[in-house]
Amino acid sequence: MKPYRLLHPHLVANRYLLLTGFICLLLVDGLQLWIPRVVKHVVDGLSDRTATHGDLLTYGLIVAGLAIVIGFFRYGWRHCLIGTSRKIERGLRDRLYTHLLTLDASFYDRNRTGDLMSRATSDIMNVRMATGMGIVAITDALLLGGAAVGFMLWISGPLTLLALIPMPFIVFTTRMMGKRMHTNYTAVQEGLGDMTEMVREGFSGIRVVKVFGMGSLMDRRLAAHSADYLSRRMALARTTGLMMPLMVLFTNMALAIVVGAGGWMVIHGRISTGDFVAFLSYLGMLTWPMMALGWITNLIQRGKASLERLALVMESEASVREPDGAQKHGPVQGSLSLRDICFSFESGLVPVLADISLEIPAGTRVGITGPPGSGKSTLLQLLARLYDPDSGTILLDGTPVRDYSFDEFRKAVHFLPQEPWIFSGTLRANISGLMPVDEHVLEAACDAAQLRETLASLPMGLDTLVGERGVTLSGGQKQRVALARTLLLPAQVLLLDDPVSQVDTVTAGRMIRMLDSLEGRTRILASHRFAAVSHSDMIVVMEEGRIRAAGSHEELMKEDDYYARTWRIQAMEAELSEDGE
Ligand SMILES: Nc1ncnc2c1ncn2[C@@H]1O[C@H](COP(=O)(O)OP(=O)(O)OP(=O)(O)O)[C@@H](O)[C@H]1O
């Protein structure tokens, strides 16, 4: 996608506002050009002593009237053009956010949050500056500059040619510096992204930083990032810092030429004193557009670099996609078939899952177990369509999951991740989300998730505020809040990634019994705690991304030595910890 294509819909949507602003800007520029003409008549009248008091009053009133009208239209263009740039900023941010929500887990594996945040903030702001003041500066440079040159030519062609001698230098400098600025701006934005990510990581991992006494290490890392950001900024400042003085130097050279040559022409009667004064005014008017050229280059290059960074995100496509015109499949029963599934997080790497084939009848309980890193969570994430397999097919009720619309699929299949996400807000909002939920239903879900005692110990119960990411809750409480949220959903298939990993064995036992009682729903529970899966209709033992064995607890105790050995070790550990208590 060409970066400018990103702006197109916003420019079209705001075309009337843009047009009005543009007309106001043209009027301001046009009226401004008229003032030197009035001044010329005053000066000529005064020079040849023909001006009367009445003439002076009239000219004064004309200038005052022009100033009022110019002020009115100036307000108009600021309102319309700057307002449009704000709308573009908002529109781009909305589109970026909406697009980010469509991207799948693999995109977030590859991109850092800090970098995405800097794109959603400072890059979008740069685009706003380029589209708002950029349009004004370009119009002024072209229109005011062009018209001023026209009037200067009308007064004296040769003097205008002399005054324009420094112009090629301006164009040359602008072009040369523009490229450097673009590179500098891209580097600055990347540096800002790195620094934002580092700070975000430091704050979100503040507990680990404290426990491991990593404060000074984090300080050094931040200092290094800050120094890097500063050096990128300084490189940019050197370029922009050189630009403005050069522009002012060239415009002052033009002024010096006009004062010398124009003064000579007045003395020799080639132009009138009024013309000379008007010429100086037009040259003054040219100064801003000439300087604006430098400024615009700055703004536009910055906006362009940012637009390219935004376009890169907007071009990213989700690898997990919805089919075009997906059909409704009717009520989901919840049977799942996995056929020869292979998957790796990045192409070319060793597969994390290989040759996985499974038949899961609707309404059954399936336990997935195996050592850490054996692929349990990955398998659940594939079933939840957070990723799609590289090869093989997953069928839900006999239909490939890729054929379901996201809406239908997400209603039918719900995934409870191992690390539950808690939003800052009340427990009630965290559990019920945005759904209006009957109080009894909510309480029943909390009871089923073994939250009753926790809620009773909190002064505000369900209305207790929990901090960002649930920092005021224990790990086990967070898991149970997330489980209560899951139980409120009518999903026919529940994918539960170790929901009891952080709770004590007694509570875990109650939670598992509650999950066992959810008859009719397909429940797939991954856990390395064998007691959590032993009552399942089928237990799948994973090893290095493959299915090592599958069957009932009794079958596996007989047929799989790893399962039987680990079961005995875990049973012994449980007994010892109960004795200890
Ligand atoms: N987002 C990711 N990107 C790259 N590799 C990943 C990613 N997530 C997991 N892995 C790798 O995939 C393999 C399987 O991980 P997975 O989390 O599925 O194992 P698990 O059996 O659920 O482990 P645990 O019991 O510790 O939760 C591991 O080697 C892990 O390092």
Residue spans per domain, the chain? 3-179+238-315, 336-580
Model confidence band, residue 517 (pLDDT cutoffs 50, 70, 90)? confident
Tell whether the model's pLDDT for residue 365 goes beyond 90: yes
Q: What is the pLDDT of residue 38?
A: 87
pLDDT digits (tens, 9 = 90+) for 528-569: 888 888 889 999 999 999 999 999 999 999 988 888 998 888
Confirm or reject: Cβ of 381 under 6 Å from ligand 1: no
User: Which of residues 25 and 299 earns the better pLDDT score?
Assistant: 25
Q: Kindly state the percentage of the chain with pLDDT values over 70.
A: 96
Q: What is the pLDDT of residue 306?
A: 87
Which atom of ligand 1 is least distant from the CA of 375?
Answer: 18
Model confidence band, residue 364 (pLDDT cutoffs 50, 70, 90)? very high
Which residue owns the Cα nearest ligand 1 atom 26?
372
pLDDT digits (tens, 9 = 90+) for 267-315: 998 899 989 988 988 888 876 676 666 667 777 877 888 888 898 889 8
Measured in Å, residue 345 CA sits from the centre of ligand 1 at 9
pLDDT digits (tens, 9 = 90+) for 115-136: 888 888 888 988 988 888 777 7
Q: What is the pLDDT of residue 471?
A: 57
Tokens (6 digits) for 520: 């009719």
Q: State the pTM of this model.
A: 0.71
d(CA 509, CA 500): 9
Q: What is the pLDDT of residue 201?
A: 79
Fold matches, 3-179+238-315 and 336-580 = no
336-580: CATH number: 3.40.50.300
Model confidence band, residue 414 (pLDDT cutoffs 50, 70, 90)? very high
Neighbouring CB atoms inside 10 A of 48's CB total: 11
Q: What is the pLDDT of residue 554?
A: 92
Cβ contact 149:255 at 8 Å: no
Strands 493-497 and 522-526: parallel
Which residue owns the Cα nearest ligand 1 atom 20?
373
Tell whether the model's pLDDT for residue 515 goes beyond 90: no
DSSP character at residue 535: T
Q: What is the pLDDT of residue 357?
A: 95
Tokens (6 digits) for 206: 């503040």
DSSP string, 358-401: EEE-TT-EEEEE-STTSSHHHHHHHHTTSS--SEEEEEETTEEG
Confirm or reject: Cβ of 297 under 6 Å from ligand 1: no
Q: What is the pLDDT of residue 475?
A: 82
Confirm or reject: Cβ of 374 under 6 Å from ligand 1: yes
What number is the ipTM of this complex? Answer: 0.95
- Compute the mean pLDDT over every residue in the chain, rounded to the nearest whole number: 86
Q: What is the pLDDT of residue 579?
A: 56
Q: What's 3-179+238-315's CATH class?
A: mainly alpha
Highest mean pLDDT among 174-183, 441-450, 471-480: 441-450
Tokens (6 digits) for 20: 């009005």
Strands 425-426 and 413-416: unpaired
Measured in Å, residue 374 CA sits from the centre of ligand 1 at 7
d(CA 268, CA 257): 17
Cβ-proximal residues to 60 (8 Å cutoff; 6+ apart), any chain: none
pLDDT (mean) for 83-98? 90
**Exposed / middle / buried, residue 290 (Cβ in 10 Å: 0-12, 13-18, 19+):** buried
Mutate which of 374, 501, 524 to test ligand 1's pocket (most atoms within 8 Å of Cβ)? 374
Q: What is the pLDDT of residue 395?
A: 95
HEC assignment per residue over 261-290: HHHHHHHCCCCCHHHHHHHHHHHHHHHHHH
